[in-house]
Amino acid sequence: MADIEAARTALVIYDMTATLLEGPGTEPWIVEAIGDLVRLLDRCRQAGVFVCYANSAAGYAGFDIPAQIAPLDTETRLLHTESGAFSGTSLEEILRNKGIDTVIVAGMAVDRGANTTARQAMNRRFRAVMAQGACYTHDISESPFGPIGKHEIERVHLAALYRMGAAILGIDELIQQLS
């Protein structure tokens, strides 16, 4: 994979909400892992990567962006209408106007909206990069196939995205590429 050029890159943080980090919907493993997303976000900001937050337009209670990754006044916030950061938003136009060709995807969930965002980006001819370690999901406790752990869900979805052409990079590798 070619190096990531900060000036031509966007970090899209998808559906990271306060409900994941506090209150009755807390996901302890996300609480433990949020530090990696914070490190990636800090490095992106330092490198001049365009930072964008995409959250549901439905405006559910607790869907505020967590304080640990709160957007700066200069960063873009979009409200998507369906799954995926490009759904019902001006994200594509914003990225094209800024000369961006690479989209780093982080957030919730690697098997739903973050996955959809990566596929939407590739369908629009952007290079999609999944931030492994900052794309989260939940265990599936009941299914026709029995319970499936979040790590297996992540592995399968990242493998499928890789097969479709997305790059899969861990946090440390992304930070190194942006140095």
pLDDT of residue 135: 93
Average pLDDT over residues 152-168: 96
pLDDT band at 38 (very low <50, low <70, confident <90, very high): very high
Q: Report the predicted TM-score, pTM, of the whole model to 2 decimal places.
A: 0.94
Name the percent of the chain lying above pLDDT 70. 97
Nearest to 116 by CA among 152, 142, 91: 91
pLDDT of residue 145: 93
pLDDT digits (tens, 9 = 90+) for 80-136: 999 999 999 999 999 999 999 999 999 998 999 999 999 999 999 999 999 999 999
pLDDT of residue 62: 64
Q: Catalogue the long-range contacts made by 135-141 (C-beta closer than 8 Å, 24 or more residues apart).
A: 135/105, 135/106, 135/107, 135/108, 135/109, 135/110, 136/20, 136/27, 136/29, 136/30, 136/33, 136/107, 136/108, 136/109, 136/110, 137/108, 137/109, 137/110, 137/111, 137/112, 138/27, 138/109
pLDDT digits (tens, 9 = 90+) for 6-21: 999 999 999 998 888 8
pLDDT of residue 106: 97
pLDDT of residue 142: 93
Q: Which domains does the chain have, with CATH numbers?
A: 6-177 (3.40.50.850)
Task: Evaluate if residue 63 carries a pLDDT over 80.
Answer: no
